[in-house]
Amino acid sequence: MADRTEKLFRVAIALKGIDGAAQVLGALLLVIVPSSAITGLAHAVITRDLLGDPSSVLARHLQTAAENFADGSTKTFAVVYLLAHGLIKLGLVIALGRKIVRAYPVAAVVLGAFVVYEVIRAVHTHSIALPFFAALDLVIIVLVLREYRELRAQRRASPPN
């Protein structure tokens, strides 16, 4: 059971690392790509019925998100959020991958803060994706805490050198 939990933990932190790297890359792309290109892409997706009916909930959600994104403060927020979130995730993934025991509680607290923020932001923005990311972060918190308990138990059981 412990071996399976360890493998699941490794997969989860690898996914978090990929997610963090993608967020950093996304932030950098948002800096480079003009807002008009992003809103134009959203408009093209909606008008070509790529999401189904242009008046559907998903199409309206994409249209609203694109319109809000055209506002400079939303783009700045997205860049700062993605960059900070991605760099923090990458740092935690590196620390957890190296089994730095002190990083485990920090990771749980930081991911918990992300969950709270994602839920609050989802309520305000009616985001479809944020609740999914919050649930994923909750699963990873559970895995981080399980791994932390196992590492502490192993260290207590092994004699000092």
Comparing CA positions, the residue from 72, 37, 65, 53 lying closest to residue 121 is: 65
End-to-end CA distance of the chain: 28
pLDDT in tens, 20-29: 999 999 999 9
For residue 20, give the nearest of 83, 102, 109 by alpha carbon. 83
Q: Which domain holds residue 137?
A: 2-154
Q: Is it the case that residue 17 has pLDDT exceeding 80?
A: yes
- 51 has pLDDT over 60: no
Chain centroid to Cα 120, Å, comes to 15
Is residue 87 in some structural domain?
Answer: yes
Average pLDDT over residues 36-57: 70
Does residue 12 sit within a domain? Answer: yes
What is this structure's pTM? Answer: 0.69
Query: How far apart (Å, rounded) are the C-alpha atoms in residues 46 and 137?
Result: 31
CA pair distance 111, 89, nearest whole angstrom: 9
Residue 160 in domain? no
Question: For residue 50, what pLDDT band results from cuts at 50, 70 and 90?
Answer: low
Please give the Cα distance from 51 to 13 (Å, whole number). 32
**The total number of structural domains that make up the chain:** 1
Tell me, yes or no, whether 10 lies in a domain: yes
**Span 68-102, pLDDT tens digits:** 666 666 778 788 888 988 998 899 899 888 989 89
Q: What is the pLDDT of residues 104-157, one digit of tens each?
A: 999 999 999 989 988 998 898 777 888 988 998 898 899 889 889 988 888 888
